Structure 1
């Protein structure tokens, strides 16, 4: 219970064929809401802070310290992850601060440079027990979308994993970051092919744009770590907007942030339950047809 290495949480989900939620933290209130949701579901969760979020706050350490404190006090296992870091120095800082995992995002680099940089990160982090995620096949959204047909190649992915020693791989299979509508169509056959080709867990970025049924199918096909940000942010923001609209004189940010926190927690709980039960539900349906 409490602060738990990411490696342990992802390994358990991978072995069981389930998904585990990795939800982005924007500020303390989102971290608190995510953990509240995890506790309500009785399930583990990964809190993740992106490089963009660290830049917004001016530094990684203050929000990281808050998340580590929230995780340590949780009644369920909670891990802390650095998301989408392109700065190797920031990765090293996260390792020093006690993050259980880091994502080095070298997808913007030529393939050989991505391999070299990711291998350096693994060499630095692995002796300290830090789980390393990387990305192959650029995932669209913020900072410029890729062409709609771009996908991660299974043969290239297998070479990348062997060459870098990375622990998990984020792959491009049809999702896109920052989608406000849940309309993305995932390539389930490609997910299954990648799952068969690689000995490590797959990570789905851009999950906010993917509907529940498609997320469940992706987990059954072989996805393990499911990243969500925009979808949960929407619950928080809509509640804040409603609170301010109801009381135009409201100036105490604790009151409208509390509304956001109360709105986000149940959806975090629901998603975690969906991810954890998806594979088991599919197995039950399949067994019932035999």
Structure 2
């Protein structure tokens, strides 16, 4: 099943799907095992940084082979693709879905490059995600406003034909200094005017009840990244401080187990209506 078809199925049912970033074999294994234990589908996401760290063929083939090995329904997605060339490389190697993030460009330029990517992805049958509005990235101010409006969302989707749209309703990438307040009314209004799959970036640190409310109001895809890196590295640091074992095959699995637990809990939250 194509990812965009899965999105349509979930949206009709008012359900969500978890999309998790991975950074190495251990974090990927943690995500896959959690999805297997919960018997839930998963979207596996790679950013430019991880692609450059692992190598595009290695990262992609590892994700696909792990899904197949564990018999988990899943898709490989490029998260925050920052150029047409990177998108093209990912599509050519077999990615099921790509994101072109031109949200920091003008509305007109965002439409232009997104439309170009949509046309390219159509030849591969792949899903395309874009971003509209200001969702603070790591290092950027979380105080800056720039929420997505229903009018802009409709105009953008109509102009580009994009399958999925990440919208700004009060989230940010990374951890929060204070509990974020999601503009759920805005979300509902956006969902009323567009058929595009709505995506929530920056879910790390969002209270469970807020995530559930967002899904009930129209969010289908929920992205999770920062919490995965955080729990893996903190667990690994603790383990390394408490023993002198140099066998990474015995040390790393303990940190992987923490990822499994985290993702299992997030899957339960996101799929609470299943």
Q: Which residue of 2 aligns with 1:35?
A: 32
Q: Which residue of 2 aligns with 1:288?
A: none
Residues 1:135 and 2:137 are matched in the alignment: no
Q: Indicate how the Cα distance of structure 1 residues 189 and 170 shifts in structure 2: closer, same or farther if over 3 A, else same.
A: same
Q: Which residue of 2 aligns with 1:269?
A: 264
Deviation per residue, 1:248-273 (Å, 9 max, x gap):
x2222222221111111122112112
Which one is further off, 196-205 or 11-20?
Answer: 11-20
- Deviation (angstroms), 1:174: 0.3
Q: Indicate how the Cα distance of structure 1 residues 31 and 181 shifts in structure 2: closer, same or farther if over 3 A, else same.
A: farther
Which one is further off, 16-25 or 255-264?
Answer: 255-264
- Deviation (angstroms), 1:180: 5.6
Q: Which residue of 2 aligns with 1:217?
A: 213
Which one is further off, 258-267 or 144-153?
Answer: 144-153
Residue 207 of structure 1 aligns to a residue whose secondary structure is coil
Deviation per residue, 1:139-164 (Å, 9 max, x gap):
10325236432200110110000000
- From 4, 7, 13, the counterpart of 1:10: 7
- Deviation (angstroms), 1:9: 2.8
Deviation per residue, 1:213-252 (Å, 9 max, x gap):
11111111111100001112222122212211210x2222
- Deviation (angstroms), 1:65: 1.5
- From 7, 22, 27, the counterpart of 1:25: 22
Aligned counterparts, 1:43-54, within 5 A: 43-54=40-51
| Separation in structure 1 between the aligned mates of residue 134 and residue 195 of structure 2, nearest angstrom | 21
| Separation in structure 1 between the aligned mates of residue 249 and residue 2 of structure 2, nearest angstrom | 31
Gaps of 5+ in 1: 281-290
Q: Which residue of 1 aligns with 2:188?
A: 192
- From 239, 246, 250, the counterpart of 2:245: 250
| Separation in structure 1 between the aligned mates of residue 145 and residue 177 of structure 2, nearest angstrom | 19
Q: CA RMSD in A?
A: 1.6
Aligned 8 A contact 2:134 2:145 in 1: no
Q: TM-score, normalised by structure 2?
A: 0.95
- Deviation (angstroms), 1:188: 0.7
Q: Indicate how the Cα distance of structure 1 residues 214 and 43 shifts in structure 2: closer, same or farther if over 3 A, else same.
A: same
Aligned 8 A contact 1:176 1:209 in 2: no
Q: Which residue of 2 aligns with 1:208?
A: 204
Gaps of 5+ in 2: none
- Deviation (angstroms), 1:36: 0.3
